Amino acid sequence: MEEEKEVGITKTHIGFIANEIEEAIHDEWENIVMTDNEGVKKLSYIKLTGILWGVCREQQTKIEWLESSVYELQEAIKDLTKPKVKAKAKSKPKEN
């Protein structure tokens, strides 16, 4: 981006900051953040995409579990707050 600024290119860039990603990823995930000979950190977006997909799937599973739990709690609350129906007393036979 510095090189672009030097020649007058002022585009908006969207992406991740390599330092932040490096702090958040597991050590066993190799070559996602790489440092070149000049010390500039770069991201492998191809490798990062697979990790992000896995995270999305995990979150979707959690969301579905939470939705199910909320539904069950709502049903339990409905059952607890329903008015109780009193049993009718048996009527005595009529005497003539």
| pLDDT, tens only, 48-65 | 888 889 999 999 999 999
State the residue range of the domain holding 48. 2-81
- Asked if residue 6 belongs to a domain, the reply is yes
Which pTM does this prediction carry?
0.55
- Asked if residue 95 belongs to a domain, the reply is no
- Asked if residue 35 belongs to a domain, the reply is yes
- Asked if residue 18 belongs to a domain, the reply is yes
- Asked if residue 87 belongs to a domain, the reply is no
Question: Based on the structure, what is the number of domains in the chain?
Answer: 1
Is residue 65 helix, strand or coil?
helix
pLDDT (tens digit per residue) in 7-38: 676 776 667 788 888 888 877 777 888 888 88
CA pair distance 42, 31, nearest whole angstrom? 10
- Asked if residue 92 belongs to a domain, the reply is no
Token pair 């995409």 is at which residue?
A: 49
Straight-line distance from the first to the last Cα atom of the chain, in angstroms, rounded to the nearest whole number:
105
- Asked if residue 48 belongs to a domain, the reply is yes
- Asked if residue 61 belongs to a domain, the reply is yes
